[in-house]
Amino acid sequence: MKLISYKTNKGNFGDDLNQWLWPKLLGKDIFTKNDDVAFLGIGSILTLTDPYYFNEANKYKKKCIAGSGIRSLKENIKLDESWDISFLRGPLSSFKLTGNFTNYITDSAYFYTLLNEYNETVKLPKKYDVSIIPYYESTNVFNWEEFCLKHNFNLITPLGNKIEKFIHEIASSKLIISEAMHGAIMADILRVPWKRLRFNAHIAEGEVVSEFKWHDWYASIDLHQVDYISLQKPKKDKLKHKLFRKKYRNRVTNEFLTELKKLNPSSFYLSDKNRFNQIISELNKKKDYLLNKYC
């Protein structure tokens, strides 16, 4: 079975999670069996804007979608009978791909709840009051390390393909502020209250793409009207000038600190316990389905 997923040289937790999670869930040799099957898991990879994913998948006789997301509302994707849509990330992806709102569970990162290590991980001692997770394309836009060190926040970077460290750092936090969607997703999985940061991701990947995927996930866990911390990012040409970069860094620092002072734990989010348990139950059934059909 061929895993189809996004890859970047510097690493990005949400995408890198695929290579780590699926063998733990479905067996270490999952990607050495069924040579005629393409497998699409975590990520907003159901898109024709970048045809790579479908071009790769269509090299195989059968294709299985397990929790992937449509990239945006602009997509118009038609699939034939060689595609097995096990489930999609959220109701918006479900509607765009199948014409109904029902063929979804949530992001397949929630399969982490079925691993043996999950119960021990959620019990890790809380070492950090607040941890901040930038989007992987934002790490070179603002000096997060300097900011967090100076103002006593814990920085969790999505770079470097350090899956277990990333998960354990979230589990060891009391609150999570995340620009990276899978930072918020893992926080929800680990039952750590989270808050979205909107800074650069919606610019880097596009407003339509960014808002679609966040709201697709929100809806999958029955959250609506979710607010966030918003920081303004200047145009790239202005960041070329050293003097402006310094002024910008100071401005973002001041804005962020002002926003953080307004926050209290009650303004952070977690999916409802009943919905969370329902997700786990549905994923257990999907795990059995995937094992029986493809393993």
Given strand 194-198, what is the order of strands in its sheet? 154-155, 128-133, 173-178, 194-198, 228-230
267: number of Cβ within 10 Å: 12
What's 118-273's CATH class? alpha beta
Local confidence pLDDT in tens for the 295 residues of the chain: 999 999 999 999 999 999 999 999 999 999 988 899 999 999 999 999 999 999 999 999 999 999 999 999 889 999 999 999 999 999 999 999 999 999 999 999 999 999 999 999 999 999 999 999 999 999 988 899 999 999 999 999 999 999 999 999 999 999 999 999 999 999 999 999 999 999 999 989 999 999 999 999 999 999 999 999 998 765 554 445 454 566 767 888 899 999 998 899 999 999 999 999 999 999 999 999 999 999 8
User: Who contacts 23 (Cβ-Cβ below 8 Å, separation ≥6)?
Assistant: 29, 30, 31
How much is the pLDDT for 241? 47
pTM for this entry: 0.95
How far is CA 241 from each of CA 235, 244, 255, rounded to the nearest angstrom?
11, 5, 21
How much is the pLDDT for 10? 93
Nearest to 14 by CA among 170, 158, 217: 158
Given strand 83-87, what is the order of strands in its sheet? 2-4, 37-40, 62-66, 83-87
Place of tokens 């294709």: 63
Query: For residue 46, what are the β-bridge partners?
Result: 70
DSSP per-residue letters across the chain: -EEE----TT--HHHHHHHHHHHHHH-TTGGGS-TTEEEE-SSS-B-SSSTHHHHHHTTSSEEEEES--BS-TT------TTEEEEEBSSHHHHHHHHSSS-SB---GGGGGGGSTTHHHHTTS---EEEEEE--GGGTTTS-HHHHHHHTT-EE----TT-HHHHHHHHHTEEEEEESSHHHHHHHHHTT--EEEEESSHHHHS-HHHHHHHHHHHHHHTT--S--EEE-----TTGGGSHHHHHHHHHHHHHHHHHHHHH--GGGSB---HHHHHHHHHHHHHHHHHHHHHH-
The rounded radius of gyration (Å) of the Cα atoms in the chain is 19
How far is CA 159 from each of CA 8, 52, 210, rounded to the nearest angstrom?
9, 23, 19
User: Who contacts 198 (Cβ-Cβ below 8 Å, separation ≥6)?
Assistant: 179, 228, 229, 230, 231
Q: List the end-to-end C-alpha distance of the chain, in Å, as a whole number.
A: 9
One-letter amino acid for residue 104 of the chain: Y
How much is the pLDDT for 140? 87
